[in-house]
Amino acid sequence: MIAADGLFVYGALRESGSNHAWLLRTHPEGLTRAWVAGRLFHLPTGHPALVPGPEPATPPPGSGWIRGDFVGYEDEKDLDSALADLDPLEGVEEGLFTREILPVTLEGGHRYRAWVYVFHVERLPRLEREAVELPDGDWAAYL
């Protein structure tokens, strides 16, 4: 099984987000600006939804990249514990979001693999009808 190096957050768990305190309760080692390839939508419920996509030809930031924070943990046990705490908040059990390991590009160009809460690509047509697409990929800027 492929291991993740951390967690990528792009919505309310981000620094300055309304649920950032919840993230801090999981005792991360640190966080840094990062990007994941895909499309970002603002849902009618007031939450963002990321649909993974192919990596753009140009490095981030820019079209096709979603801005967020890469969150690191001391070890895999701490990361697993954090995910167990965050999954209920992110609606994983209800099937609202699923968790996938995706490549993440950090501000300095380093690349890692991170758990990301995503919307299934099969739900894309519904998102395109009912949600607002954020072409710049930054939910915090949209708010």
pLDDT in tens, 81-135: 999 999 999 999 999 899 999 999 999 999 999 999 999 888 899 999 999 999 9
Provide the pLDDT for residue 70: 98
Q: What is the CATH number of domain 6-142?
A: 3.10.490.10
Provide the pLDDT for residue 89: 93
The pLDDT of residue 21 is above 80:
yes
Distance CA 42, CA 96 (A): 14
Point out which residues pair with 98 in neighbouring strands: 118
Q: Which single residue is written with the structure tokens 């609202």?
A: 96
pLDDT category of residue 14 using cuts at 50, 70 and 90 = very high
The pLDDT of residue 142 is above 70:
yes
Point out which residues pair with 28 in neighbouring strands: none
Provide the pLDDT for residue 120: 84
Handedness of CA 19, 21, 23, 25 (dihedral sign): negative
Provide the pLDDT for residue 1: 62
Distance CA 12, CA 21 (A): 10
Q: What is the mean pLDDT of the chain?
A: 95
Q: How far is CA 114 from CA 7, 17, 44, 45, in A?
A: 5, 19, 27, 25
Any idea how long the chain is?
A: 143
The share of the chain scoring above pLDDT 70, in percent, equals: 99
